[in-house]
A and B are shown apart, each in its own frame.
Chain A
Amino acid sequence: MIRERQTPMREQPPSQRIRNFDEVPLGYTPDEAVQEAERCLQCAHAPCVAGCPVGIDIPGFIEHVKHRRFADAIAKIKAANALPAVCGRVCPQEVQCQGVCTLAKRFEPVAIGRLERFCADWEAEHGTCCPAIGAPTGKQVAVIGAGPAGLTVAGELRRVGHAVTVFELLHDAGGVLMYGIPEFRLPKAIVQQEIDVLREMGVNIQVNRVIGQIRTVDELLSGEFDAVFIGTGAGLPRFLGVPGENLNGVYSANEFLTRTNLMRAYRFPEYDTPIKVGERVVTVGGGNVAMDASRTALRLGAKESIIVYRRSDEELPARREEIHHAQEEGVEFRLLTNPVEFFGEDGRVRTVRCLRMELGAPDDSGRRRPVPVDGSEFDIEIDNAIIAIGNGPHPLIPQTTKDLEVNRWGNIVADPETGQTSKAGVFAGGDIVTGAATVIEAMGAGKRAAAAIHAHLNGADA
């Protein structure tokens, strides 16, 4: 008999968790993990593996969990994924491995993400083992950006014996894992742990390095490096472009989350960076970042946290789990609503004017286009607004690298299979290529690029 439903994961209750920044889901016990692993059908064709951007042997690791061979399980995961503790927490499994799980045709899919997280946490508790490193190849690779794509490239290439230096612009490695995703969803100690493993493997991570200024990509290539990977992400915040958006109290989600996560503003004045959150906060957008921002606002003391999104519930791009968590915590969703202007007093935002929308014919993205309803204007009194409508490519590297082809949005043009850019020896992947996407997609791109870089370095030998 197969259990129809997933083994639930214990969570901090909503009323308690909105007063702290501790992680919300608490993880499986070994017994819970084994119970969930027993649900796996071990299908021969394993659609889940194809559904995983980094191709983890999912039935293989689950079989180990089922027999309580947790060390073997994590080794199996790590053969394909350098950051399992991160992915087990933030991957959109519902549209990847779990979305294609055979069980999902009749019951709930196997909770693959929760099992992955369990294995990673089990390892952290029992002592991580550093993966074996191949014999030194004498080749050196520069990785620009220590986010999910760059860290994956670094891990993969180091493992086969190349020397890898990662250059990070900020003072901490991790990219969006550090500055963007909140502590309550991805504890920073876990990110740090995964980065420490890379350091133990011999990856040279240098923070505070403004590549493009201190050295250009060409200078890296003409210097000691045989190849360069660019994984500089989508760091440039988009704004709505409506009047009043530059009033005080209107934040980009990047600013709001960076102050809170990277700079620990939630612990001001113990930490030096402040943040200001009033009683009513409106977050504009419907993705994971909007969920993160609206939930963060509650934890920073907002009495009302409201999501304003111009399409309907069905189109919300966030993971279902994040939407569910936000709703549980009391975040209010005002769907089919679009902000058109902000008004303020003494330079501070006080009101956002919105229009009600209805869904018309499908647009280029295949989603039904939101159309304003005539005469539907209404105002919401607010203390803060957070604009979470996406990010553009970080411009520094494209601007300072000659002959590097970019598309009309400023994303670097790279082969989706290899990450090869228009410049020889220069590869790119992650959000700087695709535009804002997910951690795991960036890691998938990093993995493919690492294979291509490895081939390029070997070819250069011949």
Chain B
Amino acid sequence: MYKILKKRALGPMIHEYVIEAPEVARVAKAGQFIVLRLHERGERIPLTIVDADPATGGVKLVVQEVGKSTREMGDRFEEGDSLLDFAGPLGVPSEIERYGTVICIGGGLGIAPLYPIARELHDAGNTVLGIIGARNVDLLFYEDEMSAACDDLIVVTDDGSNGRKGFVSDPLREILSSGRRVDRVWAIGPAIMMKVCSEVTREFGVPTVVSLNSVMIDGTGMCGGCRVEVGNAARFACVDGPEFDGHQVDFDMLISRQRYYADEETCALDRYIADRKGAET
């Protein structure tokens, strides 16, 4: 069992958790992920690591309540409660080097895994320009954390409820068009956002790293459910990634594969909401 050491709300449907998993916390690196399971009937949920503290044994995660399992975690799992299973770290860590100037782009929940990468790139001596965005202010978080990790931070929302109105790709294009030398871009967020950002950076020939969140079962290389096409070859996001060269990824296939279980996800969520309503009345 893995105890929830801390839980705090980052928005109406977003929580940050610190889970007690000292063996994971001791070795976890930016870019890696864990798999957790809430209870005996639970699914295996892959989540990218936000932070890990070897001293306290805590592993930090951010969870957006989009489906049945994540809703259940938000509703029913509080500080002091325990998760049944927690395994990691999994996947290949981000390649943190001194590149020069790096743009770190986080969209929606993607801000969470982006944050430790931005911080480590900054610590490694890079000039880090941050761009974070979300649909609206309720879905935006870690503004302070990202400000501290970046030399400069631009905030955008689709509806203009915080920062500039627009998409994260807008300031990206502006910076690249300005002629400023940029050595590498990290873009993490919804598949469509990563696709658009990769298309922009391709025009300017800037190497771009994306982190793929395809559907996984075991997360350890066994099921192949997370396979994505990168440079026309099938790769497993769990063991070959989750980070890949954004210019090589077939994002349309990723988006299509992410949606395969949409009906089942809706069914499970509706059933959960109905059960909860039933329990309240």
A residues near B (Cβ < 8 Å) are 169-171, 179, 207-210, 213-215, 235-237, 239, 245-246, 248-249, 251-252, 254-255, 258-259, 263-264, 268-274, 276, 346-348, 394-396
Contacts and interface: CB of A to CB of B under 8 A. Distances in A.
Contacts of B222: 179, 235-237, 254, 258, 394
A210 B217 contact: no
B271 A255 contact: no
B260 A249 contact: yes
Contact of A246 (B26, B90, B217, B253): B253
B217 A259 contact: yes
Contacts of A251: 225
B18 to A, nearest CB: 18
A237 B224 contact: yes
Contacts of B26: 214
Contacts of A248: 256-257, 260
10 contacts: A171-B37, A213-B88, A214-B24, A235-B220, A237-B224, A248-B256, A255-B223, A271-B41, A273-B43, A396-B239
A213 B84 contact: no
A347 B23 CA distance: 40
B224 A255 contact: yes
A254 B225 CA distance: 9
A249 B259 CA distance: 11
| A interface: dominant SS | loop
A15 B275 CA distance: 35
Given A171-B44, A258-B223, A396-B221, A209 B23 contact: yes
B221 to A, nearest CB: 5
A190 to B, nearest CB: 18
Contacts of B143: none
A69 B93 CA distance: 58
Contacts of B228: 246
B220 A254 contact: no
Interface of B: 23-24, 26-27, 37, 41-44, 68-69, 84-90, 217-218, 220-225, 227-229, 234, 239, 253, 256-257, 259-261, 264-265, 267-268, 271
A207 B217 contact: no
B50 to A, nearest CB: 17
Contacts of A252: 223-225
Contacts of B265: 274
Given A246-B234, A274-B264, A214 B27 contact: yes
Given A255-B225, A263-B43, A276 B260 contact: yes
Contacts of A346: 256
A210 B90 contact: yes
Given A208-B87, A209-B23, 5 more contacts: A179-B222, A246-B228, A258-B222, A272-B42, A396-B221
A82 to B, nearest CB: 24
Q: Which 9 A-B pairs have the closest CB atoms?
A: A347-B256, A274-B264, A255-B223, A208-B87, A272-B43, A252-B224, A171-B85, A248-B260, A235-B222
Contacts of B84: 171
A33 to B, nearest CB: 35
Contacts of A347: 253, 256-257, 259-260
Nearest to A391: B222
B87 A169 contact: yes
A394 B221 CA distance: 7
Contact of A236 (B86, B221, B257): B221
Nearest to B250: A246
Contacts of A258: 217-218, 222-223
Nearest to A208: B87
Contacts of A235: 220-222
A462 to B, nearest CB: 34
A333 to B, nearest CB: 25
B229 A269 contact: no
A236 B240 CA distance: 12
A208 B89 contact: no
B224 A276 contact: no
A348 B257 CA distance: 9
A267 to B, nearest CB: 8
A449 B123 CA distance: 47
A272 B218 contact: no
B218 A269 contact: no
A269 B268 contact: yes
Contacts of B90: 210, 213
B41 A264 contact: yes
Q: Which of B42, B217, B234 has the most CB of A within 10 A?
A: B217
Contact of B271 (A170, A215, A246, A269): A269
A263 B261 contact: no
A238 to B, nearest CB: 9
Contacts of A255: 217, 223-225
Contacts of B69: 272
A380 to B, nearest CB: 21
Nearest to B40: A271
Nearest to B221: A236
Contacts of B253: 246, 347
Contact of B267 (A170, A207, A259, A269): A269
A208 B59 CA distance: 15
Nearest to B22: A214
A395 B239 CA distance: 9
B220 A272 contact: no
Contacts of A237: 222-224
A239 B86 CA distance: 29
Given A236-B221, A396-B221, A396-B239, A276 B41 contact: no
A252 B267 CA distance: 24
B37 A213 contact: no
Nearest to B68: A272
A255 B23 CA distance: 28
B85 A207 contact: yes
Given A214-B27, A263-B43, A396-B239, A276 B264 contact: yes
Contacts of B227: 239, 246
A346 B257 CA distance: 11
A207 B37 CA distance: 12
Contact of A396 (B220, B224, B260, B268): B220
A252 B217 CA distance: 12
A284 to B, nearest CB: 14
A264 B217 CA distance: 12
